[in-house]
Structure 1
Amino acid sequence: MEQVGYDAVRRRARGGAESATPRLPLDGTREEILRRHLPLVRRVVQRLAARKPPHIETDDLVSWGIVGLLDAIAKYDAKKEASFSTYAQFRIRGAILDHLRSLDWVPRSVRQKASLIEKVSHRLEGTLGRPPVEEEIAAELGVSLDAYQGLLTKVGEMSLFSLEDLGFGAGEERFSFERALEEGDADPLGTLLTRERVAIVAQAIGRLPERERTVVTLYYHEELTMKEVGGVLGLTESRVSQLHSQAVLRMKGYLGELFRPAAPEA
């Protein structure tokens, strides 16, 4: 496939056009606002449905998403920096993820594999001075490339495994994108800290290898589905999922190092 830069890929994903969502106050009754934004719920569900547990119905995701939309309608402040559409997407996704978390369906072995890949990748990057390629990570794990990519596929099947759910820090200092949207404008200092931390996340994205960075950008910023990202990049949906998993694991390593609590002095 012809190699293209990020800007060209971004234009291709957008069909050559740029768009922005205006920040407007909410007009109409709660029922009218809910009805107008139901397509947004379906869009979020579409992005999550491919990675949901097999025993969970898509209609369940829609129901949980509507709960999140109602919460967004009740709590949205038009003076905040985010548009309602952006704010609602996080609340909708957050409500769905909260329900999935409560089911605790992800096998411990999958969580352990994700943690191991994260640590190995981060350690190799420190040794090599650059992001390790898949073959190097596989060799360090003592598995074949196919086996390593199979592990990435299993990790990608975790519905909770996403950049939007990427939190770092601990306790009251724990940061997440959902918390940033909800609390970032609570006070000037809080706003400053939120912007600084979001800037750190942006820097972490910038450290990713180009193809992984493009996957992350198209999936989160351009809001394409995994299948649509694959269409833009000439990759299968499963391969995009693997690259997404690898990118998030790299970022967890970057951010974990920055926000790991300092060891107590002797």
Structure 2
Amino acid sequence: MLEQKASQISHSELWRQWKEEGRSEAKKELIEVFLPLVEFVSNRLAIGLPKNVSKDDLMSFGIIGLIDAVEKFDYLRGLQFETYASWRIRGAIIDGLRQGDWVPRSVREKAKRVEEAYSKLEQQYLRSVTDEEISSYLQVSIQEFQQMVQDIAVTTVCSIDDPIRDEESETRLSLLVDEKAKNPEITVNEFFLKDMLAKSIDRLTEKERTVISLFYFEDLSLSEIAEVMSLSPSRISQLHSKAILRLRGSLTRHKAQLMQNS
């Protein structure tokens, strides 16, 4: 406990030296201290990515994100750097991969078709739709649909700097706000966003909810989740992909409804 407290004091002093005195040595030391974050985020993203994606590339992109986080972080706000940096690292890795055309256009088009199918059918039936119903809507067999989900698994990671919707400029980063700041508009928007997300998660299947919970709230990797649920890693990847596509479709639909009612 004393060691952890001493470490926090040391980190605070490093932030002061870097931000207030501009000491490059302090910046370098902060980067070294939080370098394990890059490996952690890289390892999580590596699950489900194509085999041709190099772990070294993920680390290199992630380090760029970490440096950016150290440069832009405001330590006086009292926010946790690890959370902020993890988003920046993740975003930098995904942006780096996208610049290398790691996902074919045809795969992105498949993802859009499936996302739209989930959005339309779940709005029509007011419940979580089955694979058979999605397959019928897309006019493909169950086997073809499962292969589609497997193919688009790599598109279910997203960058923090991506627009929430294609035609808008608002990004996911804009949703990360200082909790101490009092901004009524942001508070209302955040309330509705959380409410929509909670409702969307409730409509996932039990297995999909479990995967989302273990991956995003318990910080387990997909391979670890596979062990917990006694399923194959590829099956967990499919469940994760379908859950994200359902959530994207649902959130897009709910936001469109809010815009119409405003």
TM-score band (shorter)?
Answer: 0.7 to 0.9
Assess if the C-alpha contact under 8 Å between 2:91 and 2:158 holds in 1. Answer: no
Q: Deviations over 1:79-122 (max 9, x none)?
A: 54742111110011011111122223321211111111112222
Partner letter of residue 56 of structure 2? D
Partner of 1:162: 157
* 1:60 maps to 2:57: yes
1:118 maps to which residue?
115
Task: Specify the SS of the correspondent of 2:143.
Answer: helix
2:175 is equivalent to residue 203 of structure 1: no
In structure 2, give the amino acid aligned to 1:258.
H
Q: Report if the CA contact (8 A) 2:211-2:236 is conserved.
A: yes
2:183 to 185, 188, 193: 188
Match of 1:225 in 2: 221
Q: What is the deviation of 1:202?
A: 3.5
Closer/same/farther in 2, CA of residues 117 and 81 from structure 1, 3 Å limit? farther
Q: Contact 1:185/1:191 (CA < 8 Å) preserved in 2?
A: no
Q: Provide structure 2 residue ranges, at least 5 long, that are not aligned to the other structure.
A: 1-7, 15-25
Separation in structure 1 between the aligned mates of residue 240 and residue 79 of structure 2, nearest angstrom: 25
- Counterpart position of 1:50: 47
CA 1:257/1:48 → structure 2, altered by over 3 Å: closer, same or farther?
Answer: same
Which of residues 94, 98, 107 in structure 2 aligns to 1:97?
94
Q: Aligned partner of 1:74: which letter?
A: E
Aligned length: 237
The 8 Å contact of residues 120 and 141 in structure 1, kept in 2 or not, is answered as: yes
Q: Tell me: CA distance 1:185–1:260, structure 2 relative to 1, closer, same or farther (3 Å).
A: farther
Q: Quote the residue 1:141 is aligned against.
A: 138
Where does the alignment leave 5 or more consecutive residues of structure 1 unmatched? 1-22
Aligned to 2:29: 32
> Do 1:65 and 1:96's aligned partners in 2 also have CA atoms closer than 8 Å?
yes
TM-aligned CA deviation for residue 245 of structure 1: 0.8
CA contact (8 A) 1:152 1:245 kept: yes
Rg larger in structure: 2
8 A contact 1:26–1:33 mirrored in 2: no
Q: Which amino acid letter does the alignment assign opposite residue 40 of structure 2?
A: R
Structure 2 vs 1, CA of residues 190 and 40 (structure 1 numbering), >3 Å: closer, same or farther? farther
Tell me by how many angstroms 1:258 deviates: 2.4
Judged with a 3 Å threshold, the aligned counterparts in structure 2 of structure 1 residues 116 and 89 are, in CA distance, closer, same or farther, namely same
Matched, 1:129 2:126: yes
- Which has the higher relative contact order, 1 or 2, with Cα contacts under 8 A spaced 6 or more apart? 1
Question: Identical aligned pairs, as a percentage?
Answer: 36
Q: Which residue of 2 aligns with 1:259?
A: 255
CA contact (8 A) 1:168 1:259 kept: no
DSSP-derived class of the 1:256 partner: helix
Identify, as 1 or 2, the structure richer in helix.
2
Q: 1:132 to 1:164 in 2, by over 3 A?
A: farther
The TM-score, its normalising length taken from structure 2, stands at 0.79
